[in-house]
Structure 1
Amino acid sequence: MKLLIDGHEAYVYTGGKAFDPALPCVVFIHGALNDHSVWTLLARWCAHHGYGVLAVDLPGHGRSAGAPLTRVEDIAAWLHRLLDAVGVEKAALVGHSMGSLIALEAASRASTLVMVGTAYPMKVSDALLSTARDRPEAAMAMVTAFSHSLASAKPGYPGPGAWLRGSSLALMRRLQSRQTAVNLFENDFQVCDRYTGGEAAAARMSCPVHFILGALDQMTSPKQNAVLGALLKPQVHTVPAGHALMAEVPDAVLAALRAALQPSS
């Protein structure tokens, strides 16, 4: 589905079903140098089980036009305008990594907040920031290695013919090459690194909060969640995966998401 937000075309994947604003809405927000496609399996399940689905491509990512935004606060405000455009007041906000910070900042419009592969502060090492700036291809290889646990490689991963690390790297390369005016990888890492509004956003929280964390995550370690954990008091779901947990253990992440969306079921 294509929308017009701030004069630019914004693409939203609706899970294979026409979006119906009358249904309970789930918004999926991707992380750094990713797009809506990382949510395909979860988005399709939700769309075929009674939810209206909006898996967004953030500005300058995937099929969405416009310059990539540089602050979590600005992206959260953009997300609010997207919800206005489709006639949705409240939605379950589900964000991965950088997307989890955006969901947190945008949570005044959340019926439920689900932070996947999250950490706060989400500081990025100086070495990785400089590599993303000067040698983005090398930085992509580093992030791919750190984002995937051994569970994603043979013989641990059960999907025959699937190369999770290769497909993740290919997605990052494609998104980086399409954005010729800006180093998208560096931009997104800076968005994560600079965000300091987590405490204030947590103080405004008025909805249920869930964390879905990878026990083997080397990018956003579960140990980095002490600050938000104390403030938000979330229900924590831990799955046996790394940072790319939606790809590595989709069934386990779906089970956790269902528990967040359907707490009484």
Structure 2
Amino acid sequence: MQPHVVFIHGALNDHTVWRAQSRHFAQHGYRVLTPDLPAHGAAPGPALGSVAAMADWLLAQLDAAQIGQAALVGHSLGALIALEAAARAPQRIGHLALLGVAYPMKVAETLLATARSDEPRAIDMVAKWSHTPGHERADELRQLMLRLSRQQSGRHLLHTDLAACNAYDRGEAAAGGVHCPTLFIFGASDVMTPPKAARTLTAALPHARSVTVQAGHAMMVEQPDAINDALLKFCLPEH
């Protein structure tokens, strides 16, 4: 049976942040699903306001795609969604990979307020903080977020996503319901979700493995080969 892997993007992102990983896993025989969250990218709205609602939506996507069991790979907000989904339907998740995760994933009040009052400025802040200083592809994330913001003009999508991260309070409980192999991938230079901010989750998932790559929060773009290698070795140990 062809194995499945599902990639879940983060706040005000879409499936395109997973291009390198999607290609890599498809080349290794996986059926790949990279859904856009509601109101993100090509997906219709309205946006969902909580991690719990997003996890339920994700499981419904697995149903619609007739996927019985899959590996879940989530980044940032997407990592919280993957964690919650794995706890809600443990029999359906064969592997769980959490990239750039923190718990609690608290968002600075200044950023939340700016995301509501001046979304372009908040996007500039997030894009800057998501990359190691001077990275050549730093503007790609900014342009993606601006495009998604224009598609949802006036709906404060970045604020909705960040507020969902900030409000999520089920991390430890969800971790207690996860029994599949679990992998944390951290960016050594990540200032958005520094590795130390995941200590509560790593303690709650003592069976999990951890990998650190030399990257910021946008690790899939900064270190695609390292991320691909870590994920594939995790999902397919024989590789």
Shorter-chain TM band: over 0.9
Deviation (angstroms), 1:263: 2.0
Q: Residue 138 of structure 1: which of 117, 121, 124 is its match?
A: 121
Contact 1:112–1:209 (CA under 8 A) maintained in structure 2:
yes
* Cα distance in structure 2, aligned partners of 1:221 and 1:231: 17
- Superposed CA deviations along residues 106-135 of structure 1, whole A, max 9, x for unmatched, are 012310000011111100010111111111
Q: Residue 110 of structure 1: which of 77, 93, 96 is its match?
A: 93
Deviation (angstroms), 1:66: 1.9
Which residue of 1 is the match for residue 47 of structure 2? 68
2:10 is equivalent to residue 51 of structure 1: no
* Cα distance in structure 2, aligned partners of 1:151 and 1:115: 26
Alignment map for 1:185-264 (pairs within 5 Å): 185-233=158-206, 234-264=208-238
* Cα distance in structure 2, aligned partners of 1:237 and 1:254: 12
Moved over 6 A (4+): none
Q: Cα distance 1:184–1:257, how it changes in 2: closer, same or farther (>3 A)?
A: same
* Cα distance in structure 2, aligned partners of 1:260 and 1:193: 29
Secondary structure of the residue aligned to 2:68 is coil
* Cα distance in structure 2, aligned partners of 1:187 and 1:92: 26
* Cα distance in structure 1, aligned partners of 2:168 and 2:214: 28
* Cα distance in structure 2, aligned partners of 1:129 and 1:56: 25
Q: TM-score, normalised by structure 1?
A: 0.86
Q: Cα distance 1:151–1:248, how it changes in 2: closer, same or farther (>3 A)?
A: farther
Which residue of 2 is the match for residue 11 of structure 1? none
Which residue of 1 is the match for residue 132 of structure 2? 149
Secondary structure of the residue aligned to 2:83 is helix
Secondary structure of the residue aligned to 1:95 is strand
Q: Which ranges of structure 1 fall in alignment gaps of 5 or more residues? A: 1-21, 154-163
Q: State percent identity of aligned pairs.
A: 47
- Superposed CA deviations along residues 11-38 of structure 1, whole A, max 9, x for unmatched, are xxxxxxxxxxx41000000000000000
Alignment map for 1:16-35 (pairs within 5 Å): 22-35=1-14
Q: Which ranges of structure 2 fall in alignment gaps of 5 or more residues? A: none
**Comparing both structures, which one devotes a greater share of its residues to helix?**
2
* Cα distance in structure 1, aligned partners of 2:112 and 2:197: 19
* Cα distance in structure 1, aligned partners of 2:23 and 2:148: 22
Contact 1:72–1:102 (CA under 8 A) maintained in structure 2:
yes
Which residue of 2 is the match for residue 176 of structure 1? 149
* Cα distance in structure 2, aligned partners of 1:150 and 1:132: 22
Secondary structure of the residue aligned to 1:106 is helix
- Superposed CA deviations along residues 125-150 of structure 1, whole A, max 9, x for unmatched, are 10111111111111111111111003
User: Match for 2:113: what amino acid?
Assistant: S
Contact 1:151–1:241 (CA under 8 A) maintained in structure 2:
no
How many residue pairs end up in the alignment?
234
Deviation (angstroms), 1:152: 2.0
